[in-house]
Amino acid sequence: MKSKRFFAILGAAALVLAACSSNTGASGSASGGGTAKPYIPIVSKGFQHQFWQAVKKGAEQEAAKENVTVNFEGPASESQVDQQMDMLQAEYDKHPAAVCFAALDSKAAIPLLQKFKDAKIPVIGFDSGVDSDIPVTTAATDNIAAAGQAADKLAEAIGGSGKVGLIVHDQTSRTGIDRRDGFLKEMKAKYPNIQIIGPQYGGGDQLKSADLAKAMIQANPDIKGFFGANEGSAIGVINAVKELNKSGKIAVVGYDSGQAQIDAINSGLMLGAITQNPIGIGEQCVKAAVKAIKGESQPKTIDTGFFWYDKSNINDPQIQAVLYK
């Protein structure tokens, strides 16, 4: 009788143990189909531009190849730094295997990213880095060099002299700072007869950027050109030029390649723009996260490249492959 009771208790204990083990996942993993995949959240600067949708596509493609789970998210507007910090904190609380992060504010996120580092969760920067050595690596465009090329193209278009307006998305993110400074540095070094009006900051918002551009044109009726440092900034400038009937009289150079900019270049409203490689940025940040999880060494920066495109080359296969449409 005692042996029967003993084996009954032993059997019940085994069932409880089996149930517990089947419901327990490792930290940083996502269970699915009976196998645990490393979980890598991707906290971007937003969703308001086609650029981010292309980054998301690249990240998800690479995640499928690497057999990891990703969650791509970002605030509704690129001015919502607090909301981005809340998203980053929520992902920290999930104990991911690694995190990919594009900072709206290159300094504000540092204390929270330090928590990731202390918890031995690798941080991968993408698109817009932070002023810290916490990220294992950062996959991004060389924004200083790219903005310098935009300056060269605009200066050439206006004959190397005259007034040029500068509208930037922000002065807190690494992309905003580097594109502004890259453009200004190139103009100052090579084109002393060009006067810069601005910079003004439109938060990447088309309407606000349009209002800023209109005010700059009205205050400087002899302005000859504009540089819009991201998708929203450039579209805002295009709209301002159209509304004030200045099409063909003001040369507009942009950054990024959403459909509105592509249409503006094809119609002649915009001279040209810098396009990044957003799908490549998404792919590289996930690839780098997987390497970091495995403890593999990596360079501090991964240059994902950029291209100048205008009406002359917009249909080239190399350019078509990196447009955000």
Which of 212, 216, 128 has the alpha carbon at shortest distance from 168?
212
Residue segments in the chain with a per-residue pLDDT below the cut of 50 = 1-26, 31-34
3-state helix, strand, coil in the chain (%, to 5): 45, 20, 35
Burial annotation 71-83 (CB, 10 A radius, 16+ → b, else e) = bbbbbebbbbbee
Which of 98, 96, 50, 45 has the alpha carbon at shortest distance from 75?
45
pTM, two decimals, is: 0.83
- What is the rounded distance in angstroms from the CA atom of residue 80 to the CA atom of residue 94? 22
Determine the pLDDT at residue 47: 82
Determine the pLDDT at residue 241: 97
Please determine whether the domains at 29-141+278-305 and 143-275 fall in the same fold group of CATH.
yes
Determine the pLDDT at residue 48: 73
What's the fold here for domain 29-141+278-305?
Rossmann fold (3.40.50)
Q: Residue 296: phi, psi to the nearest 5?
A: -80, 145
Determine the pLDDT at residue 12: 42
Residue ranges of domains in the chain? 29-141+278-305, 143-275
Contact 294, 264 (CB under 8 A): no
Which of 76, 63, 12, 3 has the alpha carbon at shortest distance from 37?
63
CATH number at 143-275: 3.40.50.2300
